[in-house]
Amino acid sequence: MEDDQEYDQQYYGDEEDDEITQEDAWAVISAYFEEKGLVRQQLDSFDEFIQNTMQEIVDQSAEIEIRPESQHNPGHQSDFAE
């Protein structure tokens, strides 16, 4: 545990106690989008939804019973005709 503290002190100094400013936050955000691009994040999110989240929703849902109903068919006599 002491080794971790020494490592942190050696590489980060007192930076741990510094507040994160708005400029710092924007620098991180800008760097992220320069690296990944705006569309990549959207595509990654969609891929995650399709590959994982959608299946989790299906797995957690109760069984769905599908019952066919009469469909409108022009020119065809149906039970609903007067």
- Residues 27-72 have pLDDT tens digits of 999 998 888 888 888 899 999 999 999 999 989 988 888 888 888 8
Q: 35 is in which domain, residue-wise?
A: 20-59
Domain assignment present for residue 41? The answer is: yes
Domain assignment present for residue 80? The answer is: no
Domain count, the chain: 1
* Region label for 65, one of left (φ > 0), alpha (ψ between -120 and 50) or beta (otherwise): beta
The reported pLDDT for the residue numbered 13 is 62
8 A C-beta contact, residue 16 and residue 8: yes
Q: Which residues contact 80 (CB under 8 A, 6 or more apart)?
A: 70
8 A C-beta contact, residue 44 and residue 33: no
Domain assignment present for residue 81? The answer is: no
pTM for this predicted structure: 0.37
Residue 9 CA to residue 16 CA, distance in Å, equals 9
Domain assignment present for residue 67? The answer is: no
